[in-house]
């Protein structure tokens, strides 16, 4: 049991530091025209932390339309999250991201990212929801 705990902890540390390295390198990313998009990156990172996006941010940030990342509160059981995603919101699970218990979901065709964010924002079982942002590294 102790070996399994050490392996699990080691994997968590590796994923966490990989995550930090990936997102810390984004601050000075450049647009196609070569200009630094510091403002866009700040919007993306602040939205990531807050779990919400407004109309202005949606226009400026690039994300995959029709997809969201959703994390439920820790007290919500896995079986219940599946019911909520599939039955209540009529969404499809694309992937489960294990390190932070977040679901990548596909939205119903008749709903936009902002429509669903408003619904999830008012659901007390959900810790956060955010668009599936498209990130790019800096050109060095």
Predicted TM-score (pTM) of this structure: 0.56
Residue 122, pLDDT score: 94
User: What is the structure's pLDDT at 121?
Assistant: 92
Domain extent listing, the chain: 2-133
Low-confidence ranges of the chain (pLDDT < 70): 1-61, 138-140
- What is the CATH number that goes with domain 2-133? 3.30.70.80
In angstroms, what CA-CA distances link 103 with 8, 30, 60, 81, 93? 20, 29, 24, 9, 7
């Amino acid at each position: 049991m102790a070996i399994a705990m050490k392996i699990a902890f080691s994997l968590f540390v590796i994923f966490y530091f990989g995550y930090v390295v990936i997102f810390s390198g984004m601050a000075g990313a450049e647009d196609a025209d070569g200009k630094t998009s510091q403002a866009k990156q700040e919007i993306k990172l602040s939205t990531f932390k807050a779990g919400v996006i407004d109309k202005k941010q949606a226009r400026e940030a690039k994300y995959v339309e029709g997809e969201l990342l959703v994390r439920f509160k820790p007290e919500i059981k896995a079986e219940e999250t599946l019911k909520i995603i599939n039955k209540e919101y009529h969404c499809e699970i694309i992937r489960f991201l294990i390190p932070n218990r977040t679901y990548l979901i596909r939205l119903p065709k008749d709903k936009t990212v902002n429509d669903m964010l408003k619904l999830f924002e008012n659901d007390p079982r959900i810790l956060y929801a955010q668009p599936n942002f498209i990130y790019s590294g800096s050109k060095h």
